[in-house]
Amino acid sequence: MAFLDGKPVAGRGAGIATFAGIDWVTDPTGAQIAVLGVPFDAGGAVRVGARQGPAAIRRASMASLRPSHRNGRVPTRACRCIDMGDVALINELPDVSRRLVEDEAFRCLDAGARVLALGGDHATTLPLLRAARRATGVPLALVHFDAHQDVVESYYGGAVRYNNGTVFSRAVEEGLVDPQRSIQMGMNGTVFPGMRPEDSRALGFTVIEADALVAMAPDSLAQRVFAITAGAPAYLSFDLDVFDVSVAPGTGAPEAGGLLAREGLAFLRALDGLPLVGADVVEMNPLFDSADITAILAANVAFELLTLLSAATGEGHEQHSTS
């Protein structure tokens, strides 16, 4: 603590970085929202480095976020939010790491907290969904923003079944998500066989590709999402590569032709009232970032997710009408 004219002051952005400057607390008891860093990037084939994502998002959040959302919500005051720090995982041991992530997320959910995870590559979402499925007892409604559907069955003739491109195939296979109540949005870029919209639709997912998505008003998209998820406990997974490479260069598999920053944030804001139990922002890779462009955007995405999660706690908020 520093003093100015004898009075204690805490300069904005000063101190050890936690997400949005919230308290670092490792016991989730009594928390309504727990932020969890997942420094895992052993699920990426190219451009690894997302293990440094949580630290980059926290640092950017300290420098660029203020407490109040423009919609009037102040999530960190509406409910008790804590930053649990990073899961102490071991990238060289991916199976062990998945268990560590699942157990730590479950510990938060079991204590009654909603989870906001900072990735990490998209393979981190699988153990997070396992934890959410365990905690809720039912398959989740998945709300998924991404340039890719991540439903490839496997790579190298079945040799690789767990990475950032297969995560939602495994999630369906394990009964973690209900594809009939799930929606994937923002897909663009070139594809392998197994990555086309019809591959997701064959599993039961609704898919809205980037061109169709940007033609929709955020309110229309929200109506569609609320209709499909139909009040089921929901999990929102946000892959930063849904943004165009020009606004988010620091990701694992960037694409040209994605969303602008304003578009992605507006779609998230429109989802106010979604009954979220958890959310993640993944594929933040500071090694390929420039001037914190991606990290600042990731911090703002995470703040939108924090605001949605805080609305989902029902603390001082009206619920979105699903009619």
Residues interacting with Mn ion, by CB under 5 A?
Answer: 122, 146, 150, 239
> Per residue in 81-108, is it b (16+ CB within 10 Å) or e — as a string?
bbbbbbbebeeeebeebbebbbebbbbb
CB proximity list for 120: less than 8 A, separation 6 or greater? 37, 38, 39, 40, 41, 50, 51, 53, 54, 280, 282, 283, 284
Residue 234 identity (one-letter amino acid): A
Q: Which C-beta is closer to Mn ion: that of 83 or that of 280?
A: 280
Q: Identify which of residues 31 and 297 has a Cβ nearer to Mn ion in the complex.
A: 297
Alpha helices in the chain (DSSP H): 53-64, 75-78, 94-110, 125-136, 167-173, 197-203, 210-214, 218-229, 261-269, 293-312
Angle value at C-alpha 282, between 313 and 54, nearest 5 degrees: 85
Q: Which is nearer to Mn ion, 248 or 311 (CB)?
A: 248
CA distances from 15 to 10, 20, 136 (A): 8, 11, 36
Amino acid symbol at 310: S
CB 279 within 8 A of CB 128: no
Q: How far is the CB of 177 from Mn ion (least distance, A)?
A: 14
Give the nearer residue to Mn ion in terms of CB position, either 23 or 173. Answer: 173
Shortest Å distance, C-beta 282 to Mn ion: 7
Backbone φ and ψ of 236, nearest 5°: -105, 120
Residue 149 beta carbon to Mn ion: minimum distance, rounded to whole angstroms: 8
Minimum distance between the CB of residue 146 and Mn ion, rounded to whole angstroms?
4
Cβ-based nearer residue to Mn ion, 41 or 146? 146
One-letter amino acid at 216 equals M
Nearer to Mn ion, 86 or 146 (CB): 146
Task: Please say which residue, 81 or 240, places its beta carbon nearer to Mn ion.
Answer: 240
3-class SS at 144?
Answer: strand
Q: Look at residue 9 and give its three-state secondary structure.
A: strand
Nearer to Mn ion, 51 or 122 (CB): 122
Shortest distance, CB of residue 223 to Mn ion, whole angstroms?
25
H/E stretch holding 317 reads none
Shortest Å distance, C-beta 4 to Mn ion: 46
In whole angstroms, how far apart are CA 231 and each of 121, 141, 226, 234, 296? 28, 9, 7, 8, 31
Residue 262 C-beta: closest distance to Mn ion, Å: 21
Query: At a CB cut-off of 8 Å and minimum separation 6, what does 27 contact?
Result: none
Q: What is the closest distance, in whole angstroms, from the C-beta atom of residue 170 to Mn ion in the complex? A: 13
Nearer to Mn ion, 37 or 120 (CB): 120
Shortest gap between Cβ of 174 and Mn ion (angstroms)?
18
